[in-house]
Amino acid sequence: MKCENCTKKECSKKAPHDAAAEAPAANREDEGKSEFHKLADAKIFLSDCLACDSCVTEEEGARVFQQNQKEFFRVLNLNKKCDTSKHKVLAASICPQSLPYFAAQFNLCVTDASRRLCGFLKSLGVHYVFDTTIAADFSILESQKEFVQRYQRREQEEHALPMLTSACPGWVRYAERVLASPVTLHICTAKSPQQIMGSLVKDYFARQKNLSPDKIFHIIVAPCYDKKLEALREDFYTSLYDSQDVDCVLTSGEIVQILEQSGLSLNELEEVSVDTLFGATTEGEVVRHDGTRSDGYLEHVFKHAAKELFDMDVQEITYRTLKNKDFQEVTLERDGEVLLRFAAACGFRNIQNLVLKMKRGRFPYHFVEVLACPRGCLNGKGQMAAGSGKPDRALLRRLEEMYAGIPVRLPEANAHVQRLYQDWLQGTDSPKVQAALHTSFGAAEPPAPGPHIKW
């Protein structure tokens, strides 16, 4: 059976590929001596055709299989050896969409789950555990600014609008490898929260600790397997130090697998406060952004644009569901005139419909928040796929309820972000902002036939 998104006559995702056998020997060093050597290799299950031979090169296929628990424990084991030249500082950054999953799995509140997860990671040998919300603050603020700029120059630049979000790596990869420049020119250049966190850890934090970036092993805990592919992008690599901004992505489910093999439950672990990038810990509650399905780009950009462009204060946003619950729109109106029309599109059927409208010149939206997974990031296959690969709908409803209960904080209200704009980036409009917080997206040449990967 062929995926609805594929243009090939025969699907290339029939057989799993043993990329672990192709991994460099150095990456398997001491693997057999680890008490976690029985952990499964990374497997990615996506209902949509995003990672067949058309999207993943052979090299990427081999490297993505190293983005798993075995690589994590390889580095932990190296830190136990006498040769300190191979030791690394381990820093883990946790996405807020993963926390409801841990809370639901162990019957905890989200804040307790965050602290116990921090305690567990530190008990394994992780030195610092961060929350990626601060990186999402940067990503949203930069997206707000870019949308206003695009709107103001829409008459002069053909591809200024619509602006499409860039935080979902599955969507971005699909756009680059399949849709090419007519669509990629519309993608917001702000980095995703994951990759901004990579810049913060490997640049700002490394400087604070007087460490070379290659001496830090940076782990992201995320709900989505596509984040593994995002971490491998060439634009997130520093050749001077031979260092990726993110070294390893572990999904929420992979962390639970480590817990299970350890014979532990989060309930019985000590609570440890999450670290900050400023050399201290924080006892505060977990916070999130507006938006129950993602980091809230639509809500924040919409309210900011309404104020900046039309001097209108929007307190509450009313969604209108269109063809299905994963395709919704929001409009800003004054005296019967539509000033702004935004949309949220989740899942690839909705994305394909949007792209088709763009190609036909019938696209009514100024901004679209695009997410590959139906129902959004909480439905990431890294935490929602059961043994059959199908989502657990009851669990998803519970996660959505728990996530909605997390207190909301505006990105503009984060004093640490304003401090970092000055201390780290030399101002909100300096050249360093572009280098640290933005990237570019473009058409990518289809790779040569690569491995058959079970995603």
pLDDT tier at 57, thresholds 50, 70, 90: low
Percentage of residues of the chain with pLDDT beyond 90? 64
**Residue-wise DSSP of 349-387:** HHHHHHHHHHHTT----SEEEEESSTT-GGG-HHHHB-T
CA-nearest of 63, 5, 2, 78 to 350 is: 5
Q: Exposed, middle or buried by CB within 10 Å (0-12, 13-18, 19+), for 224? A: buried
Amino acid in position 419: R
pLDDT at 34 over 80: no
pLDDT at 23 over 80: no
Q: How far is CA 156 from CA 69, 323, 359, in A?
A: 49, 33, 20
Q: Exposed, middle or buried by CB within 10 Å (0-12, 13-18, 19+), for 450? A: buried
For position 82, what pLDDT does the model report?
87
For position 28, what pLDDT does the model report?
43
For position 30, what pLDDT does the model report?
47
Q: Taking residues 109-115, what's their average pLDDT?
A: 96
Q: CA 434 to CA 191: how far, in whole Å?
A: 10
Residue burial 289-301, b: 16+ Cβ < 10 Å; e: rest? bbbebbbbbbbbb
The maximal CA–CA distance of the chain, rounded, in angstroms, is 73
Residue 178 DSSP label:
I
Q: Which is it for strands 163-164 and 216-222: parallel, antiparallel or unpaired? A: unpaired
The strand pairing partners of 93, in sequence order, are 130, 220
For position 55, what pLDDT does the model report?
59
Q: CA 167 to CA 295: how far, in whole Å?
A: 9
In the numeric block, which tokens belong to residue 109?
């509140």
CA-nearest of 275, 231, 276, 250 to 122 is: 275
For position 68, what pLDDT does the model report?
83
- Cβ neighbors of 99 (< 8 A, separation 6 or more) are 110, 113, 114, 117, 286, 406
The three-state DSSP-derived secondary structure of 40-67 is: CCCCCCCCCCCCCCCCCCHHHHHHHCCC
Q: CA 112 to CA 268: how far, in whole Å?
A: 11
User: What's the pLDDT tens digit per position in 374-384?
Assistant: 989 999 988 87
Backbone phi and psi for residue 235, each to the nearest 5 degrees, phi listed first: -75, -5
The CB-side HSE value for 176 (13 A sphere, CA atoms) comes to 19
User: What's the pLDDT tens digit per position in 385-417?
Assistant: 655 556 688 999 999 999 999 999 999 999 999
pLDDT at 310 over 50: yes
Q: CA 150 to CA 264: how far, in whole Å?
A: 50
Residue in the block written with tokens 């005296």: 335
Residue in the block written with tokens 């059961």: 386
CA–CA–CA angle 114, 201, 187 (5° rounding) = 90
Q: How far is CA 1 from CA 19, 102, 351, 436, 454, in A?
A: 24, 34, 21, 43, 14
**Over the chain, what is the mean pLDDT?**
85
User: What's the pLDDT tens digit per position in 116-170?
Assistant: 999 999 999 999 999 999 999 999 999 999 999 999 999 999 889 999 999 999 8
